[in-house]
Structure 1
Amino acid sequence: MSDRRKYFTWLLVLVPLFSLPALPLVTVTAQAQTNLTRKDEAVKIFNLGWQQAERGNYSEALKLFEQALAILREIKYSVGEATVLNDIGEIYRRANQYPQALKVLESALVIVKQIDDKAGQAANLNNIGLVYRDMGEYTKALEYFQQAIAISNQAGKKQQQGSMLSNIASIYNKLGEQTKALDYLQQALANYQQLGNKEEQVIMLNLIGLNYQNRGEYPKGYEYFQQGLIISKQAGDQSGQGISLNNIGSYYYNLGQYAKSLDFLGQALAIRQQLGDQSAIAVNISNIGEVYRMLGQYPQALQNFQQALTIQKQIADKDGEGTTINNIGQTYSDLKDYNQALNYLQQALAIRQQISDQDGLGETLNNIGDLYRQLENYDRALEYFQQALAVNRKIGNKPGEAGNVNNMGEVYRTLQQDAKALESFEQALAIVKTIGDKAGEAKTLHNIGLIYIHQGQYPEAEKNLFAAIDIWEALRPGLSDAQKIAFIDTQANTYRFLIQSLIVQNKIEAALEVADRTRARAFVDLLVLKQLEKPNAQINIKPLKLAEIKNIAKSQNATLVEYATVEEDKLYIWVVNPTGKISFEQVNLKQSLKSPLQKLVLASRNSLGARGRGINISPINEPPNSGSKKTQLKKLYEILIQPIAKYLPTDPQSRVIFIPQSSLFLVPFPALQDQQGKYLIDKHTILTAPAIQVLDLTAKQHHNIPQSEKDILVVGNPIMPKLPIANEILEPLPGAEAEAKKIASLFKTQAIIGSKATETSMVKQMNQAKIIHFATHGLLDDFKGLGVPGAIALAPTRQDDGLLTSGEILDMKLNADLVVLSACNTGGGNITGDGVIGLSRSLITAGVKSVIVSLWSVSDTSTAFLMTEFYRHLQHNPDKAAALRAAMLTTRQKYSNPLDWAAFTLIGEAK
């Protein structure tokens, strides 16, 4: 595990340097006219020097400053001399020439003491502190900052104190003392608020946000970034907007929301390019490159890094160079080009040693160690981790120290040196607890849990893994739905290993609680928020306890079957009967399968020969590869059903609700065959759900829909919209039109087809419909970048584009008892730890009690037949699951291929 220091330099404005008073142009007597002229000359040269400095031309800047200094000394203008010396020191600091910077700044300090300039003394002491901070000598830096603020207080110079307070905060942040850092940042913010300095308020708000973000309190950090953005916009502060947008980009990056991260980083870059701030531009470009790296778009990442590096070399930004070259090394490491990776990391190491960048030095040493770990050269890996640890301990970099120790623990764990690994993880745990890094604490507890599992100490593993999960879940409130989904995916292994620990201890029922606790958590929160009708409410829904799970099986009058996988070798299956009896089986997948379960699931689907909607495929006879198909469907039955068959109801009318995980969401459960060739749909009435807790919440969807056939909305073959990316119009579906008309006739209503089936019109009618049937194209992409894939194709107008997306459905309030998506792949979407993120999830969240979706592309003819049969049965029996089963059985008599009758699944309530 790589301990990556912030590759993102999210805040691109240094705490302002306090320059001594600018050279004044004062009214003087004639005898001083010559001196005044010389001062004016010095001021002009001085300003030219800063113009060169801002371009990164430090050597030219220093030459000009020295000329100005010579003039000021000649006319014995001490205040001016101190000012220029101070700024010469700043240039040396920017150029990472720290000994020269200290020498010049100390000379300036002697002068301001001689003339008793308290404000000047405070400024010089502050600037000396900045040099020591950059050198990684944090204790010395803190001493100078504290001296500076004490003198500034004596002089009553409030305008100086905000910067000094934030500089002290930066030291405590480096030392890992986040609480102290936050206290000083809050003091600095209050200082700037009192002075009415909006620009500095924005900087402090962003620093406070970063403090919270570094502790894993992402929503709190985001709140401060947003405050900074609002104030900077109100004040017309473009630089502040760039900072805030950049940090919001970091927020989404940390949550794995890379599209949004790129969006905000792009906005920040545009502002900085307009301002011409080359240093900020370079870091922004590098940050965007880091997002591309995390997305696996390595050529694009390298292009960005090289672009940033070119700028940094032009402006002699050695610190930026070190960071960007380090990032290039990490990218080559991701590409498994270890020679190139090592080459760049060693370059970064040399730069950071040259400029005494201790933070960067520790980071790069750590990354080289991680490279050797990947190469399985564990001795070299430990050597570099130890060097990084020595650097971080010397400078008091607690977060870096925790990362180094944790990485060493990973090496020891790989070497099965459990005692050493545990010792390392315990050291890391103590550090992350001290500095308040909650995310780091959870990760370290997870690692400790793995050691105890390897040692067979399952009660200890259970304790640590439960503690990790408690922290993960405490960090979720306040995140958006998409953010929760991404966040949950990063934690999935902790839940899986906890389930394993519980099963080994024969804690079957406790393991079931955890199994349901790990899935659809964001979905559950979303459903509760919609039912509360308080979209901004802060909620933290408790997971189900065993008694509640049993009660749900009873109230549903159904047998619940929940699956969970641990790594690739174990499948756990729980069966909860309506009586409350819980049964459990586990399958050793390595013994049962030659390849991963996911591969079998995909192969079984492919063997069915699924094709796109609108293609007339309705074979009456079995296709040539039916033997392979039957073999795969039987193998899936053997893995998923046979171990628990004895616990399932014998009455085919009894409902069985499958709660899959991962690739099992793609399983065509009705088409699974036992060894005698009997399909599962022959034996059971089947439904699916993303979690048991979701079943509980959908049962609470209370609707007051009039029981009138006029409230049936049937849509078929609308005028097709254009796809925004491909810029192609979808093909019409005449078969879907015929299907819609036939179904509408059953309910004595009119199907809405062609140009009448507009998105705007359908959205209005959906709000009042009891049953909604869509016979049209279903799309799986996130066309509008809303973070939720899936769309229903409808007729476009000037008011809309004809694509009713999952994201838009989430914002609707529906009262429908049932929505049928008679389109291709409408049950698809992004499979995550939270279930399938797509149309079905959005519709249920919007208030629909039940949704029927397809698991693959279906033919027009067989679908029209199946759907007509479904509604015919539903008119006589309100049990949707029973009606769907009857329709499948009837359809199978005419279309024997499971491709034609097994695609649809019911999610949600049976009645």
Structure 2
Amino acid sequence: MNEQRTQAYLNLINQLLSCNDGDEPRILQENRELLDEGLVQVMVAVAQQYENAGRENEARWLMNMAQQLAQALGLLGEETTATANTPRDYLNFLMKTLLKISENRNPQVIYPFWEQNLDKLDDNLAQILDSWTREKLRQIIREQAYSIAVYIGNFSNLICQFPLGDITTHKEIAITGYEIALTIFTFEAFPQEWALTQFSLAIAYRNRIRGEKADNLERAITAYQEALKVYTFDAFPQAWARTQTNLGTAYSDRIRGDKAENLEQAISCYTKALKVSTFEAFPQDWATTQYNLAAAYSNRIRREKADNLEKAITAYQEALKVRTFDAFPEDWAMTQRNLGEAYRNRIRGDKACNLERAIAYCQEALKVYTFDAFRQDWAMTQNNLAVAYRDRIRGDKACNLERAIAYCQEALKVYTFDAFPQQWAMTQNNLSIAYSKRIRGEKADNLEIAIAYCQEALKVYTFDAFRQQWAMTQNNLAIAYRYRIRGEKADNLEIAIKSYHNALQIYTKDSDPLNCLQTAQNLGILHYDQKQWQQATEVYNIAIEAVENARLEALNPQDRQEVLSNAIGVFHRIVQAHLNLNQPEKALEYIERSKGRNLVELITQKNLHPQGVSQEIIAQLNELKQRVVNEQIRLQHQSINQKLMQSDNLTPYVQDHSYLKEYQQDLDNFIAREIKDPLFSLTQKVEPIPFTEIQELTDAETCLLQWYITGEKIIAFVVSADGEIKVWQSSEDDKNQFLDTFNNYRRLYYSENGKQEWKNQLSNLLQTFADILHINDILALIPDTCQRLIIIPHVYLHILPIHAFPINKNQILQDKYDVQYAPSCQILQKISQTFHHSDFNKLFAIQNPTKDLFYTDLEVNILSTFFTEPQVIAQDNATKNAVLPHLKSSDNHCYHFSCHGSFNPVNPLESALFLANKEPLTLDEIFELRLNKCRLITLSACETGMIDINSISDEYIGLPSGFLFAGSPSVVSSLWTVNDLSTSFLMIKLYEILFNENQQVSVPVALKTAQNWLENLTIEELDKFLEQYQPQIDKHLALLQPEQRPLYKESLKLIKQRQPHPFISPYYWAGFIATGV
């Protein structure tokens, strides 16, 4: 067959594949000079290529066309469908076939003989083959049996590829032959032949037409796994890689089993194959495996969805290094199209940019996938464009939706119900979504059309055959009925509810948490809007359990935070629904489940220890756990920085989790090897705190004040020891006014005038906050017996001095109660459980490392005298290298940092305390510390108590969280840039009170007392205070340069001009808070 003739055949085949239904006879008539046996052979060859590439619909269509053409040309003979052949006829044919194969197995020798005997290539031949072989094996010796097995194996290989006749039957005959061969090629006797036959059998089952698709894939997987018993990486690397790739494809297509687990298996197989199929050694295999890996990551259910899509994009782009437009145009186009789909689904980066990129990739694919040349691929690309335009952000929304509908209609020119039922159903679904969202036309009509398209899709997407797609369609149907205008409202809602519940049969919180979350969230909103509070709470609980499962799949804290943040509306509504049911205790429990979860888990796992092991094992365990935490924090830091650095937001960013996985594996191996406590597990889910345990944080004199800010209001919960919860809820206007005031507060704080206007207005701002929050109405809910208040702020409230809110003309909140703060009830519980240290005599202090804080030297010199074992690193000596070893292996009871500090609102993990040479001790480094005997951390520096108020999930990311994790039960920190002199006085008084043997007060009480003292300090009392510490002051002045000493006197002179109370402004004292126990 010459090359020119072959090209003519290929052109004709492309015409047939891309023509409209019904045009085939005309095209064949116009090209009748090409209708011959050669065309049939080329059709079969092309079909085989399509089948190997996974394009099964085209392959099947081409094979059917080849068979019809062969019959019309008389190539099948008149007796093709006759049943007149006797068993002897079949047996003679089989013997002749095996004899020819034994002499020469070249298809050019075998296939002409078979063309003359197509009437015998039917199911009867499979039966004859089976019965004759089994009988023959009883009569012959082992060596003869081996030869027969070889011939039968070759026979099966050849008939799998034979282009004429009924290819469905050919595959059945081949499977029979392989299974017979395996009775001779046993694992024990002939391992290599056994493995090769298992591999071939797996391919035959994967491509099998008869039988249930699910059954065939199970048998294929089993056969591939059998082959791998021989095809090991060390012994047969290429065969091992080829088998891994094929096994991965089988797992990707698998119908049975858990879909998520199947995809994990597929990813594992592809990843293994890449150890052998490298870019340098096998570029085409490498590119194919990268493409398959990308597809698996795109569909992956487990782990963090955003990260999976980044990996998919990266793998597709890798494949394009080989799959270029010039060298492999079809593969290039297919990869372009799928890359577009990955960008359409992408979570990271700018959504609008991602969608534009998705559209561009699809349009690139259409340079190859034309309607005339590649009809099916053209249709699939039309579908992808439809979805991209449906979701498009740029351009006119109404126009985009019209284009989406038009693209779907184009796809249906190819995707008919009869020819491509699955793709037809997919397109029906896409049309349904587009019409549900459509702006043009009558809304009522659009929704009816949307419902009709969903119902059409369900003709193919049945529960038994396509469960995932069935669930997706049920979800779409529910949305359409939820908004339906025609029909009875109650009936529509009932159908919507039923459809959502149908979808949740497949989208479970364990197997598919993200789809479960979305579906349950939509169902919950439906109940919520109908004021069906009980049903809403039940469904929202499913959504929250799905969120928590999805968080566990994420590898680093940043990803976990994003999962929770994306679902924060679910928490807002379940809290409100429980309040509407008069169940405030349940509302409080769900608030706790939404707050500071990363810190709760880190502290829990850090303090989790097995029973019955030595301290040496505990120490090794702690070291391995800390290594995992350090890597998680590093990845979180890296993730935030990467998002800030990306300029185009289109470049995929895939974090390297290899070290985290390695450290986690080392930890798991250590636990398995050294720890025999059956109840010990670091991977167990940290259970949320129940209300009974929240209540245990209170007593007869202690109440909790828990704040919560939702999208509509601000809520305050007062919990007392008697179990009663009282609730205050703001109006929406109050909430909006609070946000306006808060934004003004921040604007003034970060203004360019040195915060002077903010300082001037601070008292008025605190009064305004107290009024907006109706602080006196809330205090009226607190029992008269209460003397101590534990405040649990929420988001913005974390950085406001609630203790300094005025409650009347002459009183602030902490005048009425002792106030302590906590990030959440569960974090307070965790640190309370681990606080067992009463010693308070060993100090470690950092003193003025940048040498520009005049009064900090005096502060540390005085407070260090209270301790029996003080250790101070001062000024130039306080370098990072000098300080870190003390912090990492120290057993001090108090750590005092008198230095500069700064909060980084853009990347909170870069918030820092500044040591000598302005070297930062950052939050991520603080998480690495172990302060196991610490009782108090005092951060006598600026902005050390500020946290990330942009954390929607209220993760409490700031310097206090790092020290709480490091082991301190109590942290004193500041909410703004503080004054050097007033802070020094405040700190000296704080320690003076803590060491007053007559009082024995807690840190929060000592801080409150010190603040009240500073606020009300008169000039006369200031003089007495200075006189008390005059020896230390004189010593301090003596160390100063002569030109510095007048500055001390000048500053005191300025203070004394502020009569009668120089520090009465809350700026000087209210910024410090006590967090923890």
Q: Normalising by structure 2, report the TM-score.
A: 0.63
1:595 counterpart = 2:736: yes
Letter in 2 for 1:902: A
Q: Which residue of 2 aligns with 1:757?
A: 879
Q: Deviation of residue 771 (structure 1)?
A: 3.2
Letter in 1 for 2:807: D
Is the contact between residue 975 and residue 1072 of structure 2 (CA under 8 Å) also seen in structure 1? yes
Q: 1:739 aligns with which of 856, 859, 878?
A: 856
Q: CA separation of 1:153/1:753 partners in 2, compared to 1, >3 Å: closer, same or farther?
A: farther
Q: Which residue of 1 aligns with 2:1008?
A: 885
Letter in 1 for 2:947: G
**Runs of at least 5 residues in structure 1 that lack an aligned partner in the other structure:** 1-37, 60-66, 130-140, 719-732
CA distance in 2, matches of 1:348, 1:740: 74
Secondary structure of 1:837 counterpart:
coil
1:187 counterpart = 2:222: yes
Instruction: Map 1:707-722; keep pairs closer than 5 Å.
Output: 707-710=840-843, 712-714=844-846, 716-717=848-849
1:37-87 per-position Cα deviation (integer Å, ceiling 9, x unaligned): x6xx77x9989999xx99xx999xxxxxxx9x989957x9x9888535634
Q: Deviation of residue 647 (structure 1)?
A: 0.6
Q: Which residue of 1 aligns with 2:942?
A: 823
CA distance in 2, matches of 1:658, 1:127: 81
1:673-692 per-position Cα deviation (integer Å, ceiling 9, x unaligned): 22436322332332222321
Secondary structure of 2:956 counterpart:
strand
1:342 counterpart = 2:389: no
Q: Deviation of residue 699 (structure 1)?
A: 1.2
1:289 counterpart = 2:343: yes
CA distance in 2, matches of 1:325, 1:576: 55
CA distance in 2, matches of 1:791, 1:183: 54
Q: Aligned residue pairs: how many?
A: 804
Q: CA separation of 1:896/1:286 partners in 2, compared to 1, >3 Å: closer, same or farther?
A: farther
Q: CA separation of 1:94/1:564 partners in 2, compared to 1, >3 Å: closer, same or farther?
A: same
Root-mean-square deviation over aligned CA pairs: 5.2
1:93-121 per-position Cα deviation (integer Å, ceiling 9, x unaligned): 59969855642477699777856554455
Q: Deviation of residue 539 (structure 1)?
A: 0.8
**Runs of at least 5 residues in structure 2 that lack an aligned partner in the other structure:** 20-30, 77-110, 122-154, 183-196, 232-239, 279-284, 325-331, 371-376, 416-422, 609-621, 629-663, 665-681, 865-869, 1017-1061
Instruction: Map 1:348-359; keep pairs closer than 5 Å.
Output: 348-356=407-415, 357-358=423-424
Q: 1:772 aligns with which of 895, 899, 904?
A: 895
Q: CA separation of 1:86/1:603 partners in 2, compared to 1, >3 Å: closer, same or farther?
A: same
CA distance in 2, matches of 1:320, 1:476: 34
CA distance in 2, matches of 1:351, 1:97: 22
Q: Which residue of 2 aligns with 1:484?
A: 560
Q: Which residue of 2 aligns with 1:275?
A: 322
Q: Which residue of 1 aligns with 2:765?
A: 629
CA distance in 2, matches of 1:717, 1:454: 58
Q: CA separation of 1:207/1:347 partners in 2, compared to 1, >3 Å: closer, same or farther?
A: farther
CA distance in 2, matches of 1:374, 1:844: 56
Letter in 1 for 2:499: Q
Letter in 2 for 1:905: I
Is the contact between residue 610 and residue 857 of structure 1 (CA under 8 Å) also seen in structure 2? no
1:14-58 per-position Cα deviation (integer Å, ceiling 9, x unaligned): xxxxxxxxxxxxxxxxxxxxxxxx6xx77x9989999xx99xx99
Instruction: Map 1:507-518; keep pairs closer than 5 Å.
Output: 507-518=583-594
Is the contact between residue 82 and residue 108 of structure 1 (CA under 8 Å) also seen in structure 2? no
1:264 counterpart = 2:332: no
Q: 1:372 aligns with which of 410, 433, 438?
A: 438
Q: Which residue of 1 aligns with 2:65?
A: 103
1:697 counterpart = 2:659: no
CA distance in 2, matches of 1:168, 1:700: 62
Q: Deviation of residue 669 (structure 1)?
A: 0.9
Is the contact between residue 820 and residue 1075 of structure 2 (CA under 8 Å) also seen in structure 1? yes
Identity %: 15
CA distance in 2, matches of 1:478, 1:886: 47
CA distance in 2, matches of 1:48, 1:707: 93
Q: 2:244 aligns with which of 201, 205, 214?
A: 201
Is the contact between residue 859 and residue 900 of structure 1 (CA under 8 Å) also seen in structure 2? yes
CA distance in 2, matches of 1:862, 1:427: 65
Q: Which residue of 2 aligns with 1:63?
A: none
Q: Which residue of 2 aligns with 1:33?
A: none
Is the contact between residue 793 and residue 804 of structure 1 (CA under 8 Å) also seen in structure 2? yes
Secondary structure of 1:552 counterpart:
coil
Q: Which residue of 1 aligns with 2:460?
A: 394
1:745-796 per-position Cα deviation (integer Å, ceiling 9, x unaligned): 522543444584226852653441543344334343676xxxx744325569
1:448-474 per-position Cα deviation (integer Å, ceiling 9, x unaligned): 444444444444444444444445445
Is the contact between residue 715 and residue 730 of structure 2 (CA under 8 Å) also seen in structure 1? no
Q: Deviation of residue 693 (structure 1)?
A: 1.5
Question: Higher relative CO (CA 8 A, sep ≥ 6), structure 1 or 2?
Answer: 1
Q: CA separation of 1:467/1:265 partners in 2, compared to 1, >3 Å: closer, same or farther?
A: closer
Letter in 2 for 1:372: R
Q: CA separation of 1:585/1:734 partners in 2, compared to 1, >3 Å: closer, same or farther?
A: same
Q: CA separation of 1:835/1:80 partners in 2, compared to 1, >3 Å: closer, same or farther?
A: closer
CA distance in 2, matches of 1:290, 1:755: 55
CA distance in 1, matches of 2:1065, 2:524: 48
Q: Deviation of residue 696 (structure 1)?
A: 1.2
Q: Deviation of residue 368 (structure 1)?
A: 0.9
Is the contact between residue 121 and residue 151 of structure 1 (CA under 8 Å) also seen in structure 2? no
Q: Deviation of residue 342 (structure 1)?
A: 1.7
Q: CA separation of 1:633/1:753 partners in 2, compared to 1, >3 Å: closer, same or farther?
A: same
Q: Deviation of residue 164 (structure 1)?
A: 5.6
Instruction: Map 1:198-237; keep pairs closer than 5 Å.
Output: 198-202=241-245, 204-205=247-248, 208=251, 225=267, 228-229=270-271, 232-233=274-275, 236=278
Q: Which residue of 1 aligns with 2:389?
A: 329
CA distance in 1, matches of 2:798, 2:825: 15
1:576 counterpart = 2:698: no
Letter in 2 for 1:198: A
Is the contact between residue 575 and residue 647 of structure 1 (CA under 8 Å) also seen in structure 2? yes
CA distance in 2, matches of 1:435, 1:125: 43
Q: CA separation of 1:288/1:796 partners in 2, compared to 1, >3 Å: closer, same or farther?
A: farther
Q: Which residue of 1 aligns with 2:45?
A: 83
Could you say which structure has the larger radius of gyration? 2
Q: Which residue of 1 aligns with 2:801?
A: 668
Q: Deviation of residue 717 (structure 1)?
A: 4.8
Q: Normalising by structure 1, report the TM-score.
A: 0.73
CA distance in 2, matches of 1:647, 1:289: 53
Q: Deviation of residue 697 (structure 1)?
A: 0.7
Letter in 1 for 2:496: S
Q: CA separation of 1:92/1:285 partners in 2, compared to 1, >3 Å: closer, same or farther?
A: closer
CA distance in 2, matches of 1:818, 1:108: 90
Q: CA separation of 1:304/1:433 partners in 2, compared to 1, >3 Å: closer, same or farther?
A: closer
Q: Deviation of residue 573 (structure 1)?
A: 2.8
